[in-house]
Structure 1
Amino acid sequence: MVVLVAVLLIGACTAPAPPVPLSPQVTAPGAPTTVLPSDDPVELAVATSAALYATAPVVVLTAAGDEAGQAPATAVAERIGAPLLLTPADGDAAGVRAELSRLGARTVLAVDDGAAHWASAADGSAEIVTDEAALPAVTAPPRRQSVLVLAQDSPAQAAATATARASGAEVVVVPGADPRRAPEPPRRPEHVLALGSAFGTSDVLDRRLAVAATGVQLPGGGQVLFPGRRMVALYGHPGAPALGVLGEQGVEESVKRAQSLAAEYQPLLGEPVVPAFEVITTVADSGPGPDGDYSSESSVADLRPWVDAARGAGVYVVLDLQPGRSDFLTQARRYEELLAQPHVGLALDPEWRLAPQQRHRTQIGSVGVDEINSVITWLADLTRDRVLPQKLLMVHQFRLSMISGREKLDTSRDELGVILHADGFGTPDLKLQTWATLHEAQPSGVHWGWKNFYDEDRPMFTPAQTMAVGPEAPVFVSFQ
Structure 2
Amino acid sequence: MAAFDSSSRATSRTVLPADVTTVAAGAGGAELALQASRALFSHAPAVVLVGDQDQASMANAGAAAVELGVPVLLTTAGDATAAALREELARLAPETLIPVGDAAAGWAKEHPVEGAEVKAYQAGKLPRLGAAAPLDKLLVLALDRPEAAAATATAKASRAQVLVVKDPDPRADDEVIKTIAARQSTHVLGLGSAFGPADRLRNRIDTAATGILLPGGRQVVFPNRRMIALYGHPGDAGLGSLGEQPVDKAVTRARKVAAQYSALVKEPVVPAFEIITTVASSDPGPDGDYSNESTVEHLRPWVDAAGRAGIYVLLDLQPGRTDFLTQAKRYAELLKQPHVGLALDPEWRLAPHQIHMVQIGSVSGNEINKTAAWLAELTRANKLPQKILMLHQFRTDMITGRSAIDTSADELSVVIHADGFGSAGEKMATWDNVRAGAPAQVWWGWKNFYDEDKPTFSPKQTFAVEPSPVFVSYQ
TM-score with structure 2 length normalisation?
0.92
Equivalent AA in structure 1 for residue 192 of structure 2:
G
Q: Aligned partners of 1:140, 1:18: CA distance in 2, in Å? A: 14
Query: Residues 50-70 of structure 1, C-alpha deviation per residue, up to 9 Å, x if partnerless?
Result: 111111122111121332221
Task: Label 1:306 to 1:136 Cα distance change in 2 as closer, same or farther (>3 A).
Answer: closer
| 1:172 CA drift (Å) | 0.8
- The more displaced of 375-384 and 120-129 is 120-129
| 1:178 CA drift (Å) | 2.4
Query: Partner of 1:14 in structure 2?
Result: none
Query: Residues 251-303 of structure 1, C-alpha deviation per residue, up to 9 Å, x if partnerless?
Result: 11111110101111111122221111001111111222222211111111211
| 1:39 CA drift (Å) | 4.0
Query: Partner of 2:41 in structure 1?
Result: 53
Q: Does 1:238 align with 2:229?
A: no
Query: Partner of 1:373 in structure 2?
Result: 369
Query: Partner of 2:21 in structure 1?
Result: 33
| 1:49 CA drift (Å) | 0.5
Query: Partner of 1:478 in structure 2?
Result: 473
- Contact 1:228/1:271 (<8 A) preserved: yes
Secondary structure of 1:337's aligned partner? helix
Equivalent AA in structure 1 for residue 68 of structure 2:
I
Q: Does 1:459 align with 2:455?
A: yes
- Contact 1:60/1:83 (<8 A) preserved: yes
- Contact 1:281/1:297 (<8 A) preserved: yes
Percent sequence identity over aligned pairs:
56
Task: Label 1:90 to 1:331 Cα distance change in 2 as closer, same or farther (>3 A).
Answer: same
Q: Aligned partners of 1:207, 1:18: CA distance in 2, in Å? A: 45
Q: Aligned partners of 2:331, 2:193: CA distance in 1, in Å? A: 36
Query: Partner of 1:141 in structure 2?
Result: 132
| 1:130 CA drift (Å) | 4.1
| 1:236 CA drift (Å) | 0.8
Equivalent AA in structure 1 for residue 167 of structure 2:
G
- Contact 1:352/1:365 (<8 A) preserved: yes
Q: Does 1:196 align with 2:192?
A: yes
- Contact 1:216/1:389 (<8 A) preserved: yes
| 1:44 CA drift (Å) | 0.8
Equivalent AA in structure 1 for residue 8 of structure 2:
V
Pairing 1:393-432 to 2, within 5 Å after superposition: 393-432=389-428
Query: Partner of 1:359 in structure 2?
Result: 355
Select which of 77, 96, 100 maps to 1:107.
96
Q: Aligned partners of 2:437, 2:26: CA distance in 1, in Å? A: 31
Query: Residues 167-212 of structure 1, C-alpha deviation per residue, up to 9 Å, x if partnerless?
Result: 2112112342223234214112342211122223222222222222
Equivalent AA in structure 2 for residue 120 of structure 1:
K
Q: Aligned partners of 1:295, 1:112: CA distance in 2, in Å? A: 73
Task: Label 1:146 to 1:336 Cα distance change in 2 as closer, same or farther (>3 A).
Answer: closer
| 1:361 CA drift (Å) | 2.0
- Contact 1:49/1:160 (<8 A) preserved: yes
Q: Aligned partners of 1:121, 1:465: CA distance in 2, in Å? A: 66
| 1:142 CA drift (Å) | 5.4
Equivalent AA in structure 2 for residue 243 of structure 1:
L
Q: Does 1:42 align with 2:37?
A: no
Query: Partner of 2:8 in structure 1?
Result: 20
Secondary structure of 1:38's aligned partner? coil
Pairing 1:110-259 to 2, within 5 Å after superposition: 110-125=99-114, 126-132=116-122, 137-141=128-132, 143-180=134-171, 181-183=173-175, 184-186=178-180, 187-259=183-255
Q: Aligned partners of 1:287, 1:89: CA distance in 2, in Å? A: 77
Query: Partner of 2:434 in structure 1?
Result: 438
- The more displaced of 363-372 and 86-95 is 86-95
Query: Partner of 1:10 in structure 2?
Result: none
- Contact 2:232/2:276 (<8 A) preserved: yes
Secondary structure of 1:177's aligned partner? coil
- The more displaced of 268-277 and 104-113 is 104-113
Q: Aligned partners of 1:71, 1:294: CA distance in 2, in Å? A: 68
Task: Label 1:136 to 1:305 Cα distance change in 2 as closer, same or farther (>3 A).
Answer: closer
Q: Which runs of 5+ in 2 are unaligned?
A: none
Q: Aligned partners of 1:394, 1:18: CA distance in 2, in Å? A: 65
Secondary structure of 1:457's aligned partner? coil
Query: Partner of 2:55 in structure 1?
Result: 67
TM-score with structure 1 length normalisation?
0.91
| 1:143 CA drift (Å) | 4.2
- The more displaced of 340-349 and 84-93 is 84-93
Q: Which runs of 5+ in 1 are unaligned?
A: 1-16
Query: Partner of 2:74 in structure 1?
Result: 86
Query: Partner of 1:304 in structure 2?
Result: 300
Task: Label 1:56 to 1:246 Cα distance change in 2 as closer, same or farther (>3 A).
Answer: same
Pairing 1:278-317 to 2, within 5 Å after superposition: 278-317=274-313
Query: Residues 311-357 of structure 1, C-alpha deviation per residue, up to 9 Å, x if partnerless?
Result: 12111111101111111011111111111111111100111111112
- Contact 1:175/1:182 (<8 A) preserved: no
Q: Aligned partners of 2:337, 2:457: CA distance in 1, in Å? A: 32
Secondary structure of 1:351's aligned partner? helix
| 1:406 CA drift (Å) | 1.2
Secondary structure of 2:375's aligned partner? helix
Equivalent AA in structure 2 for residue 108 of structure 1:
L
- Contact 1:369/1:406 (<8 A) preserved: yes
- Contact 1:53/1:103 (<8 A) preserved: yes
Q: Aligned partners of 2:348, 2:249: CA distance in 1, in Å? A: 28
Task: Label 1:255 to 1:190 Cα distance change in 2 as closer, same or farther (>3 A).
Answer: closer
Query: Residues 24-64 of structure 1, C-alpha deviation per residue, up to 9 Å, x if partnerless?
Result: 22112112222212242111100001111111122111121
Q: Aligned partners of 1:372, 1:255: CA distance in 2, in Å? A: 30
Equivalent AA in structure 2 for residue 168 of structure 1:
R
- Contact 1:323/1:331 (<8 A) preserved: yes
- Contact 1:25/1:55 (<8 A) preserved: yes
Secondary structure of 1:145's aligned partner? strand
Equivalent AA in structure 1 for residue 47 of structure 2:
V
Q: Aligned partners of 1:318, 1:136: CA distance in 2, in Å? A: 61
